[in-house]
Structures are given as C-alpha cells and as structure tokens.
C-alpha cells in the first residue's frame, strides 16, 4: 500500500498518548506523552482504547523529540497496556 493510500484511509501517522514516565522533548519541555503508530494500535487490541489521543505524523513526532513506541513490548514498558 502506498503512503498516499495509507494517509487517505487514516492508518498513516501516530497518536500521542500518555505514558508512565516524564522525559524532555527537543525544545526542553517535559512530557509524559509518547507517539504510538496507528498501525500498532490497529494490530494490538489492547492499545485500541488509546486511539482518542492527539493525531500527529510520526515524522513530526520524531522531530519534536517524542518517543515513538513501535513494538508491543515497548508499549508494555511505557505502561500503555
């Protein structure tokens, strides 16, 4: 599936959700939110309840300094499950 098609059907990008620990973003502000790819949320039913978070592109989240949770084991480590 092309990136344009993924964006059109809403599975491209990330969602910012509250994690368990605070850390600093690239601009120095503290946050507890982490970026979870929508595809991981769709694949893991235990993460679907977190889909109400703020949408953001994964590239923008990485540029801002958000931690990107790419695996289920990382989601467990960050207290998302």
The rounded percent of the chain whose pLDDT value lies above 70 is 86
Main-chain dihedrals φ then ψ at residue 38, nearest 5 degrees: -60, -35
Tokens of 78: 């960050």
Q: Note the pTM of the prediction, 2 decimals.
A: 0.82
Per-residue model confidence as pLDDT tens digits over 41-75: 888 888 888 878 888 999 999 999 999 999 999 99
CB 35 within 8 A of CB 13: no
Q: Which domain holds residue 40?
A: 3-77
CB 77 within 8 A of CB 56: no
Give the mean pLDDT of 37-44.
89
Give the mean pLDDT of 20-34.
94
Overall domain count for the chain: 1
The rounded percent of the chain whose pLDDT value lies above 90 is 57
CB 20 within 8 A of CB 54: no
């Amino acid at each position: 599936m092309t990136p344009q098609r993924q964006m059109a059907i809403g599975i491209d990008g990330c969602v910012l959700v509250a994690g368990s620990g605070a850390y600093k973003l690239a601009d120095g502000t503290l946050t507890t939110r982490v970026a979870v790819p929508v595809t991981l949320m769709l694949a893991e039913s235990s993460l679907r309840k977190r889909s109400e978070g703020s949408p953001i592109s994964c590239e923008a989240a990485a540029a801002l300094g958000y931690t990107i949770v790419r695996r289920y084991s990382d989601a467990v480590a960050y207290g998302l499950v």
